[in-house]
Every structure is written in C-alpha cells, then in structure tokens.
Structure 1
C-alpha cells in the first residue's frame, strides 16, 4: 500500500485543516480505481483523532456522492477523493463535503512519448489540444511541454474532462488539427470522440499505449443511431428515469423532456432511481412494460451500461433527436 501512496500526490494539508475543525466520524468515498488510497488517507484521520468509515459505493464523478450513507452513520464530514466539486442544483447536504484532488505523479516512459510524437506527425498534426482528467493533470503538463519542444503547437486545456462535459475541448475544434487526451481506459476518450469533429488521439500512461478513439466512436455512434431508429418505430409510452443523487437530479431537464414528449403524443411515466443498473431496469420493465426509456441522471448510462437492453434506452439528447426528427447526433443533451 505504501507503493500505491507513492504514485499519487494527495492534498493532505487540506484534509488536515478540515478535520481539525470537525470531530467524530468521517466517511471516505472514492471511485473504485482510487479506493486503495483509503489506506493513504486513513492514517491522517487517525492522527487527528477522527474515526474513519469507508464507502463501498462506486463513484462515477462528483455528481455521484453517497450523501445518504454519511447521514446514516452520523458523519460530521464526507471526504470525496479524486474529483472537483460539482454543481448540485440547489441541494444543500446535511453533511459537509470536502473534495480532495488526487494527482498521478508524472512519470512517463520515453518510448511512449516518442510513439506519441510519431503518431501525431504521421497524421499531419501540428496544432493539438491536450486535455486530461483531474488525476492525470500533472502528466498532461509534461506531455504538453514535450510536444512543444518537438515542434508542435499544443493548447493545454486546464479544466479536466468529465464523462458528460467536453464543450471546453470541442470549442477548440476550429483551432486545432486534433485533440490529444491523457487518460486511462476508453471512457473519457470515447465521450470526446463522439462529439468532436476532429480526430482524438489518446495517451494512456497506465497501459503504456497511444491509440486513436475514432474507430471505437464510429462503432458506438452507429449503435446509438440504431437505438434512436428503433425508438422511432416503438410505441408511445416512455419512461423518464430521474436520478435521485443530488448531482444527477435535474428537474428542469425532466420537465423539458416531459413537456416535449407530451406535445408529440407520448404518454410519460416518471421513474426514480438512485443507482440504475441493467438489473434495475429489467425489474422496472417487467412491472411497467414501457416502449422507450430516457435516462436523465447520467448520460453515459445508456451508452456504456445499458446499451444491450432489449428496448431502446436513450440519452436526453438522443430523445430530443427523436422528437425533433434531427439528423445530427446530439450528445448528451
């Protein structure tokens, strides 16, 4: 565990200052991939004389924080690891939340950087945006500096990419030849590739590879357009799934969808779900037997987790495509 702690920079000073003002019990919460960092943070709490409890719930972003768990155990503070604060639409939690940034320390194999340079040059890229998630921020800076020293013109994107928000990157579409994302896995690069008009190159510092997200995005886009087509030929009973987590509860969006759907002859059923899985959706469909479902909580659920459901499950943007007979793909709204 000490090896894991040495791989990350964690703002423990912010944690120490905050817990010194509180007493009693703290709930730690992190995405699954960062849960091992509980072992790096718990000793700091112990030294401050604070009891630590550990959340087993997944964390897909700062929009997905288990406030109900903190309230249930009477925690004085909820410490969320790995994301910045997210707007909660007027929600005022009973438990104070401390957001602790976590940064992967910037070690990158030189061979990987050479491969990146070669990939960009082969593609004729000169001007390139360089973005990342919050955790890879320090790696992103190293990569941007390396590209600049090798004749490229990088534009570093300071705000981290989120699974549902890429406008701060796509706003550079007209200024760059391509986008470079520094991130692990497929999740974040896929989201950018679905909405950007420029090629998306990915540097994965964990798997040590450089790859292009376009092929995966094309495959997913075909699948999503097929879902919209299927929904167009389904019935008129639509289930609007409303997220109950504060960061995923968007009443203005729910009302907009319900109003538009009713105007096009749909009968709307409102379904509340704190944590939506394929099994939960099957249970709901067994009960209601609706024709189409629209997820207003997290727009990545229909794309990543529910894409194989036997009925169309759409993002809000895809449902608006259906209502407006739009030809261009709309993500996520």
Structure 2
C-alpha cells in the first residue's frame, strides 16, 4: 500500500499579532493577546480525524516544548502559551505535522461487517497482494490483509459499516484499451468508523459516486458504481486499516523499497449465510446479515427513521 503523505511545515514567528501558516488541509492560526499570552487555533478543510503534532524549534519566556492531539471538528483552539515574564512577549519558532487518523485506536476486532454489495448476492473472495512488496521490493506490513471481488458487470458498491466519508478520489477515466494486472490509478472512497478504523474501497467509475464528502453512511448504503478493470471484469479492492505509527518526523526522502506503512491492517469478520466469519482466499460466499448486525451502530433515532423510510438510507 502506498505510504500516506505526511505534511510538515516550519513557521518562524516574530512578534506579529496574527500570523497564519496555510496548507492544503489544515491551517494553524496564531493570536497574540494583550497579556502576552499566545493562543494556537486550527482550521481543518477535510472531514474526519487528524493527528496533529506541534514542536517548538526555539522558545523563550514560556515553558511548553511539544504538543500533540487528535482533532475532529472543522476548527477549534489547540492550546495557550503563557509568558513567564508577563511584561515580555513570547518569541518562538515551530514546526507542525499531521496525519489522518487516531494513533493506536481501540479497535473492535470482533465487529461484524457487512460485505460491500447488496444482500443475497454471491461473491468470490480473493486476497490481494501488497503492490509495494511485489513491484517495488518494500517490506509488507506484518498484518497485511486486503481483498478483491470481481464482478462481470458494473455492480453497485455498498458501505460495510456506519461511518463518515472522509475522502473521495474522482479523477480517473475508464481505460478499456489496456489489459491490467493491477492499477495504481483508481477512483476510491475512504470511510472512517467510530472505533478509529478506516475502510478503503477502490475501483469506481468516474462521476459514479452516490455519496458526498462528509456524509454519514450506514451498512448497505450505496457508495458508487464499479468501473471496468479489463474487458469483462469490474473489480473492487477493499481493506480495513487503522493508524499505528504517530512518529511524524521526516528524515529525508526514502525510496519505495525503504518505505514502511504507518498503518495496521485488520482481518475483519463479515456476516454471510454462514454467520460471522473471517474470509478465506478463493472461497465463495452469499452476502447476508441479521438485524443485530445491521443496526448495531444505529442510534435509537436513526433506527426509528430507518424503519419508517429505509430508502433514505440507501
């Protein structure tokens, strides 16, 4: 799996009252107060959880050295620097970095997921290889687990669990002229779950998404339509992972072979006609679920709304 991008910024601050460092996803705002204290705020453009780490490279007239937290809201206050000598300003320089997710979350490894197509459909499960290991010689994560489902038509992909849509890639057009063994450029969707795991779905036709960024989805919510992978194959890649490495220090560029994943991978339990089970390579399954599995993360209000108008949750 391609290593997630970690972004790092260096800010040199003098005594200006409102200085801002901007990047694509997260903005840090600085406010100097009349009592010489300094407040740090953030603004986040993408939905979902992000781990932020702030490290001061120089600091005078205050005590704090490092700060880190997980932010989920669109904006908020991070912390305050208080001066030792209240008559003098605080001077500092700092750098900050961030990565999507909550480091080492309390993952529910026994959670029963629904499979990513509609109930009663038959599927064959294939376990996917790690492309960085196969093609670039990098080290495969010790708990790597990813799946492939091939269809013979442009089937509709469904959500496997209640969650928040935190990323949609909708850039790539269908290429029917080339026969592929794998594709690195695929339209995809990423959904964050309440226990800190993420579900990655790859293989959508461009402009076929049926959900929006920031939307809450539920088991069996329709996400989008599969794209043609080869002449007669429509392929979905999917896996569930979580952030395990919160060391955001960048030590220069490394080759693909030297890259290591920041993520841990889950071997999930899925509900089929056999009950809740872990999937096996090349085995056939019939998609199924019971009421307890389907509603396990619904609030009472959501369940009531679903029972009244289930079409609003598709």
**TM-score, normalised on structure 1?**
0.28
Q: Which has the higher strand share?
A: 2
**TM-score, normalised on structure 2?**
0.29
Q: Which has the higher helix share?
A: 1
Report which of the two structures shows the higher radius of gyration computed on alpha carbons: 2
